[in-house]
Amino acid sequence: GLNLIAFGFFKKVVVADTLAWTVNLAFADEIPNTSGAFWWVVMIMFAFQIYCDFSGYSDIARGLGKWIGFEFPVNFRNPYIASSFRDFWERWHISLSTWFRDYVYIPLGGSRKGKLSSHFNMWVTMLISGLWHGAAWTFIAWAALHSFYMSVERLTNWPRKLLKLPGGKHLATISVFLLTTIAWVFFRAGTFEQAFDILRIMFNFNSFNFAAIDSINNDPINLLLIIIGSQLFFYFGFHRAEWIASKTISKAIFDTVFIAFIILMCVFLRAPSNTFIYFQF
């Protein structure tokens, strides 16, 4: 339980809050930066900000639940390694997506009444989930874009075809991530006008001024340490059960070192505090 709580705080106060500093400044600028490279970097940062924010509070809740005897299921399973949008929604915010599946999609008929009906039911379910996040057209656009992605995926089966190519799994994963990042523009933007302005700049390939990336307000040393720390967490966390089972290291020693390292990262690398994004929903 303590492992999950510590890891959740690391995701929130170190990774998510560090990225939020830049993302918030970029979206608050009344005159958007006109470099496509700048906005691609900002939106990728937001993609990881919202993931670490959402999964961070989920890890904290799971850890607290373990302390009082509840075993809550995993809520995020590395969604950005998904190689299809169906796979993405089976990994992203699992508790919410399964609730919409069980209480909206399936009662509407699911996929039992033919392909056309299944597309319609999926669109209705996604649009309702968009409204659940907020009564704003930007959330509807975000949900509609994901509905469009999934309809195209069902009609063309492009991920499966891509997987047959050399390196196809990586291509599929990158494609899903970039398309998801584009949809995040609507989720994060305050207005339709701002979202379309940003997308117009992102896809104006004549405006890819990489020098503009220098205006991103983050300490590169902190970001490097955060990236290294994150990779260490994933590596050690992945091998934890294996090492303990083989008696390579005792559970007490592993967990003590792991938690101490996380606490040090949270103390020395924490960014200016931001409320959990999810609190607005």
Selecting among 133, 146, 170, 239, the annotated active-site residue is 133
CA distance linking residue 206 with residue 163, whole number of Å: 32
Compute the distance between CA of residue 222 and CA of residue 224 in angstroms, rounded to an integer.
5
* Token duo for residue 21: 């500093």
Tokens 């993302």 locate to 23
93 a catalytic residue? no
DSSP 104-169: IIHHHTTTTT-HHHHHHHHHHHHHHHHHHH-SSHHHHHHHHHHHHHHHHHHHH-HHHHHHTSTTHH
* Burial grade of 171 (CB within 10 A; 0-12, 13-18, 19 or more): middle
Compute the distance between CA of residue 28 and CA of residue 274 in angstroms, rounded to an integer.
15
Which residue from 75, 71, 90 is spatially nearest to 8, judged by alpha carbons?
75
Asked if 137 and 193 touch (Cβ cutoff 8 Å), the reply is: no
The backbone region for 217, taken as left when phi is positive above 0, alpha when psi lies in -120 to 50, beta otherwise, is beta
Copy the structure tokens of residue 248.
């390579």
Q: Which of 265, 273, 276 is nearest to 222 (CA)?
A: 265
Find how far residue 105's CA is from the centre of its chain.
Answer: 23
Q: What tokens were used for 181?
A: 């990042």
Residue type, 78: N
Annotated catalytic sites, by residue?
Answer: 133
